Structure 1
Amino acid sequence: MKVKLFILLCFLFVLGNQAVVAQERTVEPEVGEPAVLRMVYTFTQQAVKDRESVYIADTMALEVGMNGSVYYDWNKNRRDSLAAVRFTEPVNHKITVSVDENALQSRLEAQKQVYDVLDASKGQSYRIYKKRDKGEIVTIDEGPLEGFGTTTYFQLTENIPPQAWTMTGDTSTVLNYLCQKASATFRGRTYVAWFTLDIPINDGPWKFYGLPGMILKVQDTEGQFCWEVIGLQNVRDEILIPTDRKKIPCNLKELSDFKRNKRRYISVGFVENGGVVYYRTKNPVTYFSLERGD
C-alpha cells in the first residue's frame, strides 16, 4: 500500500511540474514527458559459441512516465566513454584494418598483447520508446555511416497494441514484490510474465506492456530470453527521442538485417609500428533472433 501511494504522489508531482518544464525547453522534443521511476533489469539471452550454449547478460533500464517510457542499455554510455578513451590514448592515430585472418591467428598464437576488440554484438545499441496511450513503439538504433565519420540513426516506428495476456492465478515474489503470473504470445514466441499491482503502471521491459501492474520478470518458454528486475530508482529525467543525428526510417526486417550483419564480425587490434592495426574476423558467437519472422 505504501508503494502505491508513493507512485501516485510521484505522478501528481510530475503533472504539477509539467508546465514549468515545458517553459524551460528551448527545442520542442519528439516525446518530452517526465519520467518518475527507473526500473533496472538483467537481460539474459542464450547464444552459441564454438557449438556450445552460452548465456550473455546485459543490464537494461526502463524509465517510465504517465503515458510512455524509454528502455535502453544501462551501461552503454560507460562503454562508449571507455571506447572514446581508447582512441585518445598516446598511440599514433594511424589506424588500419586488415582482413588477413592468418596474420591475426599468428599474433594470437604468439600471445601478442591485444590493444582493443571492436565487437558490435556486445551490449544493446537501441533505445525503445513506448507511447502507451497511442499503442506506438519507436525504436532508435545505430544506423549506417553517411560519408566519412557521419553517423546516423535507424528509426523503426511500429503500431503495437498491448499483448493479449492470459492470467493464470499463480503468484510469486520478485524483488520482495508480490507478483501475479500471465502469459502471451508475441512475435513468434510465448512468454510468461510476473507483474505486481504494488506498482500500478502498465509497462514492462523491451516491448512488453498491457498488464494492470509493472512487469518485473518475463521469459520465453524456450528459456532463450529472460528479463528480471534487480532494482528501482526515483528519477526526474525527461523521456526524449534523440535529435543529434539524421534518422533513417526503416522496417523491422531492414533493422534486423543490419544488426545481424554488424554482429557477424569482430575486429581485434594490436599496436604495430606506432599505430593500431585491426584484424577483422568472424564473430565466434551466434545469437538467436528475438523477433521471429523478421
Structure 2
Amino acid sequence: MKVKLFILLCFLFVLGNQAVVAQERTVEPEVGEPVVLRLVYTFTQQAVKDRESVYITDTMVLEVGMNGSVYYDWNKNRRDSLAAIRFTEPVNHKITLSVDENALQVRLEAQKQVYDVLDAGKGQSYRIYKKRDKEEVVTIDEGPLEGFDTETYFQLTENIPPQAWKMSGDTSTVLNYLCQKASATFRGRTYVAWFTLDIPINDGPWKFYGLPGLILKVQDLENKFCFLAIGLQKAGGESITMPTDRKRVSCNLKELSDFKKNERRYISVGFVENGGVTYYRTKNPVTYFSLERGD
C-alpha cells in the first residue's frame, strides 16, 4: 500500500511570551542522510474535555534513513499557512491581545461570529530526529519568543538506548505486513509494539526503536496513546535535515515539558473589531496527558 505524501516544512505562528530559562546554543546547519522510506502514522491520544474523555488524532510522518530518521506532523505546515492567510486578509495586520474573560463571555453570549481560535495544543509542533547509530534522539520544538516577535526553537538532545523490548510469539497484520509483538516500559508507561521483519529497519514512530524490523503499531496498556501506520512509500531523493531558519536554544526535558504544558493551558478566541482582530485569552477546555509520565 502506497500513499502519496507531501513533504512539509515547519513554520508556526506562536502565541506565547513565557519566559523560559535555558542556555543559548549555537548549532551549525546539518546535512542529513538520504531518506529511503517514508511512513504515515495516525497518532491518537486520549484527552479530557468538560470532564469527559475525548480522542484526538493527528497524522504523522516518519522519514527513515539507514542510520537515522525524522518524525513530524504531516499537517502542520498546512495549518500554519492557513493561519497566516487569516492574519493578512481582513484585518491589515492589526492584532490586539486581551485577557478580559468577561469581555469574551459577553461576545460569546451575544453569539458574535468567531473569526479565529489560536490553540497551541492543536497538532504536534515537534520534530524528532533519531541517530540510531549514536543512540541519540534530538527534539526540535517551538521555543519562547525573544523580545517581542523573534521566534526560536528549543533543542533537546537525549541519549536514549533502544527500549528493552520483550518478544512475544503473538502475530498480527498491519498494512498487510505480518507483524510480531513486543512490549517495553519507557518513560513511565508500558507499550505493546507490532513490528515486521519484512522491513528490516530498526526504527519506529516517536522515540521508539530497537527491534529487528520496522515498528508499524505501538499502543500503551492504558489505551491513552496509539501510533498506527496507515501508509508507506519509497522516498524520492530527499534528505533528513534539521531546520536552520531560527536560532536554536538548548533545553532539558523538564524545561521543554513545562513550556509546552504552559502553552496548552490557554486558547485565544479572536473577533474582528475596529478594523482588526482582538484575541481574548481563556482557559483551554481540553486537558492532555503526557507521553513521558513522571519526568
Q: TM-score under structure 2 normalisation?
A: 0.89
State how 1:124-143 maps to structure 2 within 5 Å. 124-143=124-143
Q: Following TM superposition, by how much is the alpha carbon of 1:179 offset from its aligned partner in structure 2, in angstroms? A: 0.3
Q: Distance between the aligned counterparts of 1:161 and 1:293, measured in 2?
A: 19
Q: Deviations over 1:1-23 (max 9, x none)?
A: xxxxxxxxxxxxxxxxxxxxxxx
Q: Following TM superposition, by how much is the alpha carbon of 1:71 offset from its aligned partner in structure 2, in angstroms? A: 0.2
In structure 2, the partner of 1:213 is: 213
In structure 1, the partner of 2:264 is: 263
Q: Following TM superposition, by how much is the alpha carbon of 1:30 offset from its aligned partner in structure 2, in angstroms? A: 2.1
Aligned length: 268
In structure 1, the partner of 2:110 is: 110
State how 1:20-31 maps to structure 2 within 5 Å. 29-31=29-31
Q: Deviations over 1:135-164 (max 9, x none)?
A: 000000000000121100100000000001
Q: Following TM superposition, by how much is the alpha carbon of 1:232 offset from its aligned partner in structure 2, in angstroms? A: 0.4
Q: Distance between the aligned counterparts of 1:101 and 1:87, measured in 2?
A: 22
Q: Distance between the aligned counterparts of 1:267 and 1:126, measured in 2?
A: 21
Q: Distance between the aligned counterparts of 1:169 and 1:237, measured in 2?
A: 37
Mean Cα displacement is larger for which, 101-110 or 223-232?
101-110
In structure 2, the partner of 1:16 is: none
Q: Following TM superposition, by how much is the alpha carbon of 1:90 offset from its aligned partner in structure 2, in angstroms? A: 3.0
In structure 1, the partner of 2:155 is: 155
Q: Distance between the aligned counterparts of 2:274 and 2:137, measured in 1?
A: 48
Q: Distance between the aligned counterparts of 2:248 and 2:92, measured in 1?
A: 33
Q: Deviations over 1:80-120 (max 9, x none)?
A: 11111111103232211111111111111111111010000
Which of structures 1 and 2 has the bigger CA Rg? 1
Q: Following TM superposition, by how much is the alpha carbon of 1:273 offset from its aligned partner in structure 2, in angstroms? A: 1.1
In structure 1, the partner of 2:204 is: 204
In structure 2, the partner of 1:23 is: none
Q: Distance between the aligned counterparts of 1:35 and 1:287, measured in 2?
A: 32
Tell me if 1:288 matches 2:283.
Answer: no
- Amino acid paired to 1:64: V
Tell me if 1:249 matches 2:287.
Answer: no
Aligned CA distance change for structure 1 residues 170 and 31 (closer, same or farther; 3 Å): farther
Q: Distance between the aligned counterparts of 1:271 and 1:29, measured in 2?
A: 41
State how 1:31-180 maps to structure 2 within 5 Å. 31-180=31-180
In structure 1, the partner of 2:274 is: 273
- Asked if 1 retains the 8 angstrom alpha-carbon contact of 2:196 and 2:214, the reply is yes
Q: Deviations over 1:191-238 (max 9, x none)?
A: 000000111100000000000000000000000000000100221211
Q: Following TM superposition, by how much is the alpha carbon of 1:29 offset from its aligned partner in structure 2, in angstroms? A: 4.1
- Amino acid paired to 1:163: Q
Q: Distance between the aligned counterparts of 1:277 and 1:90, measured in 2?
A: 13
Q: Distance between the aligned counterparts of 1:264 and 1:126, measured in 2?
A: 18
How well do the aligned residues superpose, as a CA RMSD in angstroms? 1.2
- Amino acid paired to 2:290: S
Give the share of equivalent positions with the same residue, in percent.
87
Mean Cα displacement is larger for which, 30-39 or 221-230?
30-39
Tell me if 1:239 matches 2:226.
Answer: no
Q: Distance between the aligned counterparts of 1:248 and 1:94, measured in 2?
A: 30
